[in-house]
């Protein structure tokens, strides 16, 4: 059991403000690799579903026509920043590319805040419910601190001053703005195939219902997804909780951290040039890619 908590013990010796990158890297690469990747997928799904953001994505076709590439580009840029920070060359290049992609658009500050809120709150809540242990206060603050730093470097203003404050802001904004809309439904249909790859092969016949059960009621309503039967929802919850208990009592930290061999994706099996990730050309000014 001591080995199982070796990373947590180290995290508790760190300063979540000064050492936020090291803590967040440990969460992603060692403590919760599967859960963090899934939580980030759910976070991006939610951020794409706000009507104003969803309308732009369906207009550009980036998520509906080039789904795999769009998701891979987003994931690669995010993971480059997490793995390298914002001051090392690759992380700095990824941040520069993110800003280049967004610069031509007139993006409301609250849209940026909502995306950051999704990345801060959604994965953390997944860990609180289904992680093999609950994230500690250092991990919650380091998560907020990492995305606060990202937001500041993207020119976002008004970022709430703690994880708890961001959570309150996020819930209020989500309640007001996450509404049913046809564009979000189209994006959800396009991106669902990627969520289905997370389903174990023996459960493939229930794949669509299980993916729907991962969404909460508000996200299902926004994207036009029917509520799955209660046995599926209850079974998913029970299975994830059982997995958490098994990992808590019998698991061990991974010998090889996530991304030890670099970031590979279906779109870029042989590597990629950070400066070429994202849309092939700058879109018209005044429209937001979110």
Q: What is the pLDDT of residue 281?
A: 59
pLDDT at 282 over 60: no
State the sign of the Cα–Cα–Cα–Cα dihedral 150, 156, 157, 162.
Answer: negative
| Interior angle at CA 97, CA 157 and CA 290, nearest 5 | 50
pLDDT at 55 over 90: no
Q: What is the pLDDT of residue 289?
A: 44
Q: What is the pLDDT of residue 60?
A: 79
The residue behind tokens 């992680």 is 131
Q: Give the span between the Cα atoms of 259 and 39, in whole angstroms.
A: 17
Of the pLDDT bands very low, low, confident and very high (cuts 50, 70, 90), residue 285 is very low
Instruction: Write out pLDDT tens, residues 125-145.
Output: 999 999 999 999 999 999 999
pLDDT at 288 over 50: no
Instruction: Write out pLDDT tens, residues 96-120.
Output: 999 998 887 778 999 999 999 999 9
Mean pLDDT of 9-36: 97
pLDDT at 84 over 80: yes
- If we measure between CA atoms, which residue out of 98, 114, 216 comes closest to residue 158? 114
Q: Give the span between the Cα atoms of 285 and 182, in whole angstroms.
A: 24
Which of 1-10, 214-223, 266-275 shows the lowest mean pLDDT across its residues?
1-10
Q: Give the span between the Cα atoms of 244 and 213, in whole angstroms.
A: 18
Q: What is the pLDDT of residue 2?
A: 54
Buried b (16+ CB within 10 A) or exposed e, 6-38: ebbeebeeeebeebbbbbbbbbbbbbbeebbbb
CA atoms within 13 A of residue 103's CA, in its CB half-sphere? 10
130 burial (CB, 10 Å; 0-12 / 13-18 / 19+) is: buried
Mean pLDDT of 169-180: 97
Mean pLDDT of 4-25: 97
- Of 56-60, 269-273, 279-283, highest mean pLDDT: 269-273
Q: What is the pLDDT of residue 106?
A: 79
């Amino acid at each position: 059991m001591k080995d199982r908590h070796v990373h947590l013990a180290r995290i508790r010796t760190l300063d979540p403000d000064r050492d936020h990158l090291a803590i967040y890297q440990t969460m992603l690469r060692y403590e919760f690799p599967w859960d963090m990747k899934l939580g980030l997928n759910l976070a991006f799904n939610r951020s794409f579903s706000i009507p104003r953001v969803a309308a732009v994505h369906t207009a550009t076709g980036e998520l509906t026509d080039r789904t795999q590439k769009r998701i891979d580009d987003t994931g690669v840029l995010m993971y480059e920043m997490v793995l390298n920070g914002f001051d090392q060359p690759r992380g700095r290049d990824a941040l520069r590319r993110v800003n280049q992609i967004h610069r031509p658009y007139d993006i409301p500050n609250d849209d940026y805040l909502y995306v950051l809120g999704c990345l801060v709150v959604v994965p953390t809540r997944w860990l609180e419910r289904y992680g093999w242990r609950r994230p500690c206060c250092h991990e919650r603050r380091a998560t907020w601190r990492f995305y606060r730093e990202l937001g500041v470097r993207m020119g976002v203003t008004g970022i709430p001053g703690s994880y708890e404050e961001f959570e309150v802001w996020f819930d209020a904004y989500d309640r007001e703005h996450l509404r049913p809309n046809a564009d979000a439904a189209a994006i959800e249909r396009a991106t669902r195939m990627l969520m289905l790859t997370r389903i174990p092969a023996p459960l493939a016949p229930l794949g669509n219902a299980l993916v729907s059960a991962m969404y909460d009621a508000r996200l299902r309503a926004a994207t036009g997804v029917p509520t799955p039967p209660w046995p599926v929802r209850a079974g998913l919850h029970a299975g994830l909780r059982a997995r958490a208990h098994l990992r808590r009592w019998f698991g061990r930290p991974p010998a090889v951290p996530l991304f030890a061999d670099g970031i590979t994706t279906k779109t870029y099996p042989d590597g990629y040039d950070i400066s070429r990730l994202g849309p092939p050309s700058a879109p018209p000014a005044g429209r937001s890619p979110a």
